[in-house]
Chains A and B, each alone.
Chain A
Amino acid sequence: MSQVNRLASGGRIDRSKPMSFTFNGKTYQGFDGDTLASAMLANGVGIVGRSFKYSRARGILGHGAEEPNALMQLHKGKETIPNPRATQVELFDGLTATSTNGWPSAEFDLMSLMGKIGGMMMPPGFYYKTFMAPQKMWMTYEKFIRKAAGFGKLSLEADPDTYDKINAHCDVMVVGAGPAGLAAALEAGRSGKRVIIVDEQNEFGGTLLASTQTVDGIDAAAWAEQATSDLKGMDNVLVMPRTTAFGYYDHNFVVALERRTDHIGPVAETGTRQRLHRIRAHQVILATGAIERPLVFGNNDLPGIMLSNSVSTYINRYAVVPGQRCVVMTTNDSGYQTALDIQAAGRTVVAVVDSRHTPDGRLVQAAKAAGIQVMAGSGIIEALGSKHVTGAIVAPLDEAGDNVVGAGKTLSCDLIAVAGGWSPVVHLSCHTGSRPVWKDDVAGFIPGPTIQNQHLAGAVTGEYLLSEALNSGAQAGATASDTTSAQTFDCGDESTGASQALYLVPHTKPISRAPKQFVDFQNDVTAAGIELAAREGFQSIEHVKRYTAMGFGTDQGKTGNINGMAIVAKTMNKSIAETGTTIFRPAYTPVTFGAIGGRDVGELLDPARHTAMHPWHLANGAEFENVGQWKRPWYFPQAGETMQQALNRECLAVRNSVGMLDASTLGKIDIQGKDAREFLNRVYTNAWTKLAPGKCRYGLMLKEDGMIFDDGVTACLSDSHFLMTTTSGGAAAVLGWLELWHQTEWPDMEVYFTSVTDQWATCSFAGPNSRKVLEKLCTDVDLSADAMKFMDWREGTVAGIKARIFRISFTGELSFEVNVPADQGHYMWKKLMEAGEEFGITPYGTESMHVLRAEKGFIIAGQDTDGSMTPYDCLMGWAVGKTKEFSFLGERSFSRPDTARTDRKQLVGLKPKDPTVVIPEGAQIVMDPNQPIPMDMMGHVTSSYWSECLGHGIAMGTVKGGSDRMGETVYCPLADGRVLAAEICSPVFYDPKGDHHND
């Protein structure tokens, strides 16, 4: 198909570089420099898709980010992208695009029948009113609604592209490179400030690229090229086209998305496809421009009805006229420029329909002088056509534009250009909470007051003349750079007549009966729908927005919101200023999650922490589990073993001979200073005053509410030197806690904290033969039972390496931990494995560790406690010092009425009645399984395992008043219907006297 709408010359396209593309399976031609939209229009493509709710045929409305209709499905397979706007897709050779909806095709869509017939049954909020009953049918309805509605599809395959992120700082950030932005950046750049200037388009210049005006005697587009070249020549200015500043966050933090290869092909051949720029700026200049509004009239959504300045842009920038016979509808002088552009392109302007009764501005005169017919005091009340516009009914209106005051006349046309006024692009100014302000003289909202160091320039403030944009841009650039004088520009005579504030063109029929008058194209919200919302009692603009879904689409209502707000205001007899506006969140235009993820995906999603022994664990078949960011061996299956078989073997090995666990991940905090001992007294429940060097003690740490928050063994190295251990997951929080109390409450105490978790590797080995293993490698420490008692530590030489040896136990067996500097941890582990070989030393992981400690009734903070258990609740009253001088953290809370209750949930052991059963962790505990629902829940199971040593399942849990319920039977009703019975018992299932670890 040839490019029927392409002009023979002109435009900024490169005719020496033709390109092929396909849309909905048909192949077309375009040129380098086209957008997909301009190329489609050049080829006479009318219908680009179907609307969201009513499935109405839709065409291209605009030329940029404001486009609500032309959402495309780009590329194929794993490269496919849902919903980019055709107006923002740069054409490349071989591009494939399809409509995102329409079945069997956008041209012939059966859903539109539903829209015609069923439209009456789908008013705003219909999904709240219909499909309500029967309730159980909702999931069925939802499937059909989901299929019928919606736009593009995601690929379910991994994104083939990579993305990255970069941080930047600058003195002046300029958002927008139209006339105002360029002038601002030139000024700031010349002052020597570090400047970053971004624009979403492939070329800087904005409106200058389609303008027929001059700047200081130079053609607008040529001036833009020169300005861009000047900026690129400045070392202190970073020029970034194809970069959308989509979010403006607190304290002048702007995030921008740079599209590096989208214009080249479906996938980046080398490097990253897109880059996220995270920019901290001293000053931000918003030069984001304004978007033209359509007008609301009957059937205003027909293909062939476009924004007036978009028509001008297609003509002047892309050399495309999207029609042969055009009617221009305008409320201001802008429409006349389009009429002149169409005529200059050799097409017919049937008439300019102006709602104003006596327009006589400079452009109006020029149009009349060119022989263009002007129908003043009139409006298009209805467009005609089914798949494309074929005509417009024009009728005379009263002065206010509220009523039709005469008979309508039908004009035949295939293009309607609508100039409904301008809406400043305020979006970024709202992102940190500033509310835009209505200005009557602008008939628009402009950015409101803000605490950010922000400047405004150009059309975003309601100044629509080119000279105003350039001059205010230069001024903003100067202010932001702390310079006083700014360049001024001359654009000749720009005198303009007054605009009329008209949003909805009345029909002869009332709104509820007239042909649909669309306000929000993307979400199919009509004027009648908004009136209905107001009638149903939705008075606040925020409620109207949510009830009608106005402004909800991916276009954030760029062309619809103001018209919608004006209609709401009118319906409620308020001014627009009184009605107010909804505001905007990032992103200004959609951002792919790939760009937000950047490089932090896959293996780089989260740091993985490995101990020094990691290579050994990998080589020996360990299965791993995540403990915080640590990869810890979970269990070490041998060939053919199930997990349970591995656990059984590991646990038996520990109880019968010797097993070894990598305990390097536990937090280790080195505490020094003359007040270290007193500090420990304050943060732990137990007493530390008499702990001698060479001794260790288990410490319990509470928050001020008396609840357990962490625990660990702390060793006394000297009177002013301690080594504290914490849980693996709690290390950072505990360090922060210690610092908090020292820095904010007790700064006079002399004590220093250093994290040494990564500096020491820990081999923990347990079992009756553990001492024999150590004795083979360590000869300078007396390791006998009398010399090295339970909870002693010694410095010694193990396998030739200076080490700290601790006799502590979490398994209830005779147990030692050897700490060496981390870079020797792997070596130490191997030497211990070697020494233990004759005893069948068995590596074990976290799961066996959990089983072994549970057999001894030892809690794990964070598993058996959840921030609501006191030491007494956990049967650890023995760890609470009763005669400590300083009221340690949490002590006072013990006597709070709630903490002192006797029926609090207490730690208990649970022995399943059926010895083969392992109760699921988390199971709720009740006394009577036959009581009616909701049952009285007495507690829950916190830890539960199969104990190979004991030959039955064991569990720990919390039960209200559990300490007084020894021997009682409780029940765990499960979601699958089973009820498991268990007997409350002591949580110390194994070796209750503690003979083993005292050997």
Chain B
Amino acid sequence: MTVETVLPGVRDNTKPARATGPSPWRPVVLGLLLPVSLAVGWEIAVQAGWAEGRLLPPPSRIAQTLWSLSEGGELLVHIGATLWRVAVGFLIGAVAGIAAGAAAGYSRIFRELVDPTIQGLRAIPSLAWVPLFILWLGIFEESKVALIAVGVFFPVYLGVTASVLGVDRKIVEVGRIFRLKGFALVRRILVPAILPNVVLALRTGLGLGWMFVVAAEIMGAAEGLGYLLVDGQQLGKPDQIVAAILVFAVIGKITDALIVAASTPFLRWQDSYGAGN
């Protein structure tokens, strides 16, 4: 009785405190304050003639460049070429990373046989592969995709291995008590248990995929956002370089958000935890 009459009072005390808490927009507004005022300041400085803006073009010039690039459909071609390389490389690297990582996490003998080699290969800076890939696969798409796939593979492999090894033995026993074995145990216990970490590993992998597509395209491509960077450098067009960088940032963010969105329905149980706090 007394317990029940005390509880609502406690709850009442916390409610107003929450309502007066910081607005959810606060971090967005504060976070944007610095870059937006720098951009506006630079624009004003160049417009007013205080600065030349030749090496670092003001926002209006970059917007103009973006507009003229997209008008003729040229920008879309470059975006398409880059996206295609990242997509194929990511797919190959992610599938291979998940398969090898799951095998290494699940099977001790596989881990003992294969993991030292993979760790050894991982010690090689990925860009060191480029000459070999070009000799093996030529200078066109294949060698670029291979480099991206290598970049994606290692973080995915590491993340998946660690998450399989980290699955709580106590949870696995729940599956065993209900007589789950082999594939059923994998499907109903292991996969859902590792999913949050696999998503994290895929996002890290994708980030590296974007990093390596830039490297691959800078080293020689006839199209792609990386080509725009090199072209801008060789022809002295910093506005084109900055425009390409911005497009990289936006598309990289979008693809990352796509992974998050695709995994959200399966990770709702985690969100509820975050929401509860």
Q: Do A and B bind each other?
A: no
Residues of B that sit less than 8 Å from A by CB:
none
Residues of A that sit less than 8 Å from B by CB:
none
